[in-house]
Amino acid sequence: MSTHKIPYSDTGYFSKLICDYLNQEENLSGFYGQFPTLENFKAQIEQKKFSDENRKVLVSALRNQYAGFEQTAETQEALDLLALPNTYTVTTGHQLNLFTGPLYFLYKIISTITLSRKLKETYPDSNFLPVYWMATEDHDFDEINYFRLHGKKIQWNREDITDNDKGAVGALDNEGLAAVYERLQAELGTTRIAQELAQLFETAYLKTDNLADATRFLAHRLFGEYGLVIVDGNDRDLKAVFAPYMKQELLEQKAFDLVSAQAEKLEENGYSVQVNAREINLFYLAEGLRERIIKQDGSYFVKDTELQFSEAELLEKLQTTPEAFSPNVIMRPLYQEVILPNLAYIGGGGEIAYWLELKSFFDAVEVPFPMLMLRNSALLITEKQKEKLEKLDISLNELFLSQNDLVNRKIRKISNIDIDFSPQKQHLVKQFEALYELAEQTDISFLGAVKAQEVKQLKGLDNLEKRLLKAQKRKLSDHVQRFTLIQNELFPAQNLQERVFNFSEFYAEYGADLLPKLFDALDPLDYRFTVIIL
């Protein structure tokens, strides 16, 4: 196995905001606290204060969540360590995608585990635990009910899911997944590793009660031996700890003004805003229901329902039934940082983008802002694919070009005629420089006419160059086909492989060796894209 690193800015797949953040551009300095380097974690550790009382609640809640699951010795040790005052966490989060969903699910968790190990090596007097936060309270079933394998969409269809059923997906029972299991078996085949994968799916999804339990089992089976701690935020005891912050949100709505102001500043700096804050950033959660809480004329309403509360009634509900309140994308990061002794959050580009809107809100409610770390991104290339690339003389960096640019570059290189008219264009420009001087010495009114003629002739050369290139592409159509085929293999639908493929695509070939290979190749503190030759 070998690796090749590419700056994220050179891939074309990451936003200006993320690239500028990684470059620590000055105009973003007010949107985060410590930039994530090993040295900066010292200050982050000193800044993070976590009460003994909250720690006891956290450990108790997690032991309850793991009850009934066969735990690894590493997980049991992690929960024991979590009870100690010198133990901190690094966290990633992900939706409950069917069978992990896209490949980057693995990269997120591997980044988190590897970072916790590096921190322990650097700061041996403290303990650091990797945490996977399950997004059990999300309610968009259509985002998570499928995965892709061998170019096919394997989808979970439920007869009882309708537009009106917007409850927490973690509570969904596993009805309909037997059909997915049968299709997965047929697609994987009958090899030993294929049967191992099918059994993993069967045990996770057909022998548990709901999607949250299935996802916990699956993540634990894949990463339990690495000491991964899995947290379900849909927990009464944990929400009771967070209740004072939810009360403040209901009464004062600080997040709306502060986050909106940060988003406006980002836009002023030329960046796109990832999310927008609501006046109240909480949902009301019940069986089959997760809807926004809205305040109007002094009363509180649950959107699209007949539920209505006075202020006193809603606060009483919060005190007695905190599990009925669910943070949205703005409040969930705060919830996580309140109930965990957390130092860093590891997420994708979209996640980091919305976290960058939250710093002033965290400051206002006096909760330490975590370090924000872009998860590892990777492209996996097999030895056979590498050989194809070498025969076609396509470099790893060239793979990230748009398909049109890639084909044009390679056709220009292999063509037996010169399709680059740059010398002719440069010569034309020099000729017109002389004409400009002549016009200025005779009649300055001719400058416009000279400019128009220059533009016309340069455009004519451009058109001739494009026609010649198009003709050569037809003549060398076999080469064009080979270029596009290999790029489409590695960038399905012109997207990053990690956003489309499921881990089973590679696990079926490499088996249990896949995860150790990824651990060896990925470094969460190396902020470059990783190409991995398997």
- Tokens at residue 177, please? 């997944």
Mean pLDDT across 375-379: 98
Does any domain span residue 502?
no
Contact 234, 61 (CB under 8 A): no
Q: Are 264 and 347 in contact (CB under 8 A)?
A: no
Q: Are 32 and 359 in contact (CB under 8 A)?
A: yes
pLDDT tens digits, one per residue of 54-79: 999 999 999 999 998 999 999 999 99
Which residues lie below 8 Å from residue 482, measured CB to CB, with a gap of 6+? Answer: 388, 392
Average pLDDT of the chain is 93
Sequential DSSP letters for 173-226: B-TTHHHHHHHHHHHH-SSHHHHHHHHHHHHHHHSSSBHHHHHHHHHHHHHGGG
The pLDDT value given to residue 519 = 98
494: left (phi over 0), alpha (psi -120 to 50) or beta: left
234 and 98 fall within a common domain: yes
Residue 175 lies in a domain: no
- d(CA 460, CA 496) in angstroms, rounded, equals 37
Question: Is position 169 within any domain?
Answer: no
Digit-coded pLDDT (tens) for 129-156: 999 999 999 988 999 999 999 999 999 9
User: Which of helix, strand or coil describes residue 152?
Assistant: strand
Angle between helices 52-66 and 236-252 (to 10 degrees): 130
Residue 372 confidence class, pLDDT cut points 50, 70, 90 = very high
- Regarding whether 62 and 15 lie in a shared domain, the answer is yes
Q: What's the predicted TM-score (pTM) here?
A: 0.90
Reported residue count of the chain is 534
- Measured CA to CA, the distance from residue 328 to residue 137 in angstroms comes to 9
Quote the CA–CA distance of 133 and 94 in Å, as a whole number.
7
Half-sphere exposure of 175 (CA within 13 A, CB side): 8
Residue 433: the pLDDT is 84
Residue 508 in any domain: the answer is no
> Would you call 291 helix, strand, or coil by DSSP?
strand
Task: Tell me the two tokens of residue 508.
Answer: 């079926």
Q: What is the pLDDT of residue 416?
A: 58
pLDDT tens readout for residues 161-196: 555 457 899 999 999 999 999 999 999 999 999 999
Alpha helices in 15-86 (DSSP H): 16-22, 41-47, 52-66, 73-82
pLDDT-derived band at 424, boundaries 50, 70, 90: confident
- Do 66 and 82 share a domain, yes or no? yes
Answer yes or no: do 62 and 118 share one domain. yes
% of the chain residues with pLDDT over 70: 96
- Does residue 275 belong to any structural domain of this protein? no
Do 394 and 442 have their domain in common? yes
Q: Which residues pair with 373 in a beta bridge?
A: 346
Whether pLDDT at 256 is above 80: yes
Co-location of 436 and 520 in the same domain = no
Q: Which residues, listed in sequence order, are joined to residue 90 by a DSSP beta bridge?
A: 130, 344
One domain, residues 344 and 468: no
In a domain, 283, yes or no: no
CA–CA gap between residue 20 and residue 24 (Å, rounded)? 6
Task: Transcribe 93-119 into DSSP letters.
Answer: EE---GGG-STHHHHHHHHHHHHHHHH
Asked whether the beta carbons of 360 and 330 are under 8 A apart, the reply is no
Q: Is the pLDDT of residue 465 over 70?
A: no
Domain that holds residue 65: 2-155+211-239+329-377+516-533
363 with 394, same domain: the answer is no
Angle at CA of residue 134, ends 128 and 137, nearest 5°: 140
Query: Is 520 part of a structural domain of the chain?
Result: yes
* Residue 452 confidence class, pLDDT cut points 50, 70, 90: confident
- With 0-12 / 13-18 / 19 or more C-beta atoms within 10 angstroms meaning exposed / middle / buried, residue 111 is buried
Structure tokens at 104: 């980057």
The H or E element spanning position 263 is: helix 254-268
Q: Give CA–CA dist 183/147, Å, rounded.
A: 12
Tally of structural domains, the chain: 2
Report the alpha-carbon distance of residue 355 to residue 442 in Å, rounded: 62
Identity at 401, one-letter amino acid code: L
Q: Which amino acid is at 28?
A: L
Q: Which of 288, 514, 207, 227 is nearest to 380 (CA)?
A: 514
451, 335: one domain: no
In a shared domain, residues 372 and 481:
no
Cα-flanking dihedrals φ and ψ of residue 346, to 5°?
-110, 120
Please report whether residue 353 resides in a domain.
yes
Residues in Cβ contact with 124 at an 8 Å cutoff, skipping those fewer than 6 apart: none
Same domain, 148 and 32: yes
- pLDDT band for 106, please (50, 70, 90 cuts): very high
pLDDT classification of 428: cutoffs 50, 70, 90: confident
* Residues 459, 231: Cα–Cα separation, whole Å: 60
Question: How far is 524 from 534, CA to CA, in rounded Å?
Answer: 19
Residue 99 C-beta-side C-alpha neighbours within 13 Å: 27
Per-residue pLDDT, 164: 46
pLDDT digits (tens, 9 = 90+) for 496-521: 999 999 999 999 999 999 999 999 99
429 and 357: one domain?
Answer: no
Instruction: Check whether 91 has a pLDDT greater than 60.
Output: yes
